[in-house]
Amino acid sequence: MATKRQIADDIYRKYHALLSQTDIQHYLGIGKNKAARMVASLPEIGKGTGKRYFYEDVAESVIKYMQG
């Protein structure tokens, strides 16, 4: 299993520092509802152009998702 740092680096290379829920869906190949549950507890960055999430926070959620 990949480490949080490896996942964070991969996310950063593909999407840079801020991700949308749609980016997360594409990254993991999951649906809208599952992605929404993943980001529900993450702090949001910006609201005017849509919610974004910091890549290291997303990496933490990905690890939790992969662990079940």
pTM: 0.88
Enumerate the β-bridge partners of residue 45. 52
Whole-number pLDDT of residue 68 = 74
Enumerate the β-bridge partners of residue 19. 53
**How far is Cα 54 from Cα 18, in angstroms, rounded to an integer?**
5
10-46 pLDDT tens trace:
999 999 999 999 999 999 999 999 999 999 999 999 7
Closest CA to 15 of 44, 64, 49, 58: 58
Whole-number pLDDT of residue 27 = 95
Which tokens in the block code for residue 64?
């939790």
53-67 pLDDT tens trace:
999 999 999 998 888
